[in-house]
Structure 1
Amino acid sequence: METATLSEARVYVGTYGKYNNGSLFGAWLDLSDYADKEEFYEACRELHKDEEDAEFMFQDYENIPENLISESWISGNFFTLRDAVEKLGDTEQEAFFVWCNYKNHDLSEEDADDLIKNFWDEYQGQYDDEEDFAYRIVEECYDLPEFAKTYFDYEKFARDLFMCDYWFDDGFVFRAA
C-alpha cells in the first residue's frame, strides 16, 4: 500500500454510458469536499444529471489506497478513515500506512477508530535505524553510568530487541503485538 494523503484524495468521475459512447466526459472531484459517501454520490449525480440512472465510472484517482476504490466502487469507509487519519501528523500518517501494509489491514472493512487506536498502541516513533532505537531504550530504561555506555554493545542489543519485541520498516519502529 502506497502512502496516501487522504485529505488530498480526488477522483475523476465519468459514466459507463458516456464511455461506451466514446466520451470521457467527467470531472475531478475532491473528496475533501464531501462528508460521506452519500454526499459524494450526490455530487456525482449532479455532475451527470444529463444521464438517467447513470452508472458512475471512476476513471482515475489520486491519494486513495487501492483497496478503498475500484473502477465502479468506493468504500464508505474511506470517509471515516480520512477523518480519523487527518488527526495524525504527516509523519504519523506515513507511519500509519506502513503499519497497515505490514499488518495486512483491510482498510475497506475495518473500523477506522480501532485501526488508529491499535496503531498508537504499537507505534514507537521514527528512527534512523534499529540501533538508533536501541540507544533510546537504553537511555529511557537503564540508568547506566557514562563510562558503562561506552562499553555497551548497542548493535547486539538492537538485534535482540528486533528479534521478537519490535519491528522496523521504512524508518519507523513498532512494537510487535
Structure 2
Amino acid sequence: MTDEIRIYVACLAAYNNGILHGAWIDAQQGVEAINADIQKMLRASPIEGAEEYAVHDYEGFEGLSLSEYEGIQQIVDKAEFIAEHGTLGAELANYFGDLESAQTALEDHYAGEFHSVSEFAEQITEETTEIPESLRFYIDYERMARDLEINDIIAIKLGFDCVHIFWSH
C-alpha cells in the first residue's frame, strides 16, 4: 500500500486550451483544505479566471475508483476508509458499491483470514461437528467451500494463500 493517498486535480480551462496545469493534493487532509488547494491551483492557472476543475488521476486508493467529478467529501471519505482498511477495504467497497456496506461487513460479518475457502470450511466443520475418525478422510472440503461461496459467504482473495471471509447474511 502506498503511504500517500492523493488526487491530481486539473484546471479545465487550461486543459481545454491544450495546457496541462494541475496539482497533486493530499486526499486525507479534509474537505476545506482540499478546496483551498484546488483554489490555489486555479489561481495559479495560465488561463485567467479559471474556475472549473476535474480529478484526472489518483494514487493510493488501492483499486477503489474515483470519477472525474467525484465530490470532495466522497474523496475524503474514501481516502479515510482506505487509510484505515487498505486493500481489503477497497475490495469490499468495490464489491458492495458503497463504503457503508463495506464498513458493516468489516464490523459485523468478518469471519477471519484463511489460506483458502476450503481451510475455512474445514475449520468451521471441525468446530461445530464431531467427526468420527473413520469418516474424516471422506469429507470433501473443496466442495463444501464451493457451496459456502454460493450460499453463505463472501470470499475476498487478496493474494496467494490470503482469503478474507465474510458471512453474507
Q: Same fold (TM over 0.5)?
A: yes
Q: Is the 2:5–2:79 contact (alpha carbons within 8 Å) kept by the matching residues of 1?
A: no
Q: 1:29 aligns with which of 25, 29, 38?
A: 25
The CA distance in 2 between the partners of 1:146 and 1:8, in whole Å, is 53
Q: 2:40 aligns with which of 40, 46, 51?
A: 46
1:146 shift after superposition: 5.7
Q: 1:39 to 1:139 in 2, by over 3 A?
A: same
Q: 1:60 aligns with which of 57, 62, 82?
A: 57
1:42 shift after superposition: 0.8
Q: Is the 2:118–2:145 contact (alpha carbons within 8 Å) kept by the matching residues of 1?
A: yes
Q: 2:74 aligns with which of 67, 72, 77?
A: 77
Runs ≥4 in structure 1, deviation > 6 angstroms?
none
Q: Is the 1:6–1:82 contact (alpha carbons within 8 Å) kept by the matching residues of 2?
A: no
Matched residue count: 159
Structure 2 SS opposite 1:76: helix
Q: Structure 1 length as normaliser, TM-score? A: 0.69
C-alpha distance after superposition, 1:145-168 (max 9, x if no partner): 666544544334334433422233
Q: Is the 1:14–1:26 contact (alpha carbons within 8 Å) kept by the matching residues of 2?
A: yes
Q: Match of 1:63, as an amino acid? A: G
Alignment of 1:1-177 (within 5 A): 8-32=4-28, 34-35=29-30, 37-50=31-44, 51-52=48-49, 54-64=51-61, 65-66=64-65, 68-70=66-68, 72-88=69-85, 93-103=86-96, 105-107=97-99, 112=100, 115-144=102-131, 149-170=136-157, 171-177=163-169
Q: Is the 2:13–2:51 contact (alpha carbons within 8 Å) kept by the matching residues of 1?
A: yes
The CA distance in 1 between the partners of 2:7 and 2:94, in whole Å, is 22
C-alpha distance after superposition, 1:65-110 (max 9, x if no partner): 33x331x44341221233244333xxxx32333333333x245xxx
Q: 1:25 to 1:95 in 2, by over 3 A?
A: closer
The CA distance in 1 between the partners of 2:60 and 2:71, in whole Å, is 13
1:136 shift after superposition: 1.5
Say which structure is richer in strand. 2
Q: % of aligned pairs identical? A: 28
Point out where structure 2 has 5 or more consecutive residues left out of the alignment: 158-162
C-alpha distance after superposition, 1:108-143 (max 9, x if no partner): xxxx4x641233322323333221111221233234
Point out where structure 1 has 5 or more consecutive residues left out of the alignment: none
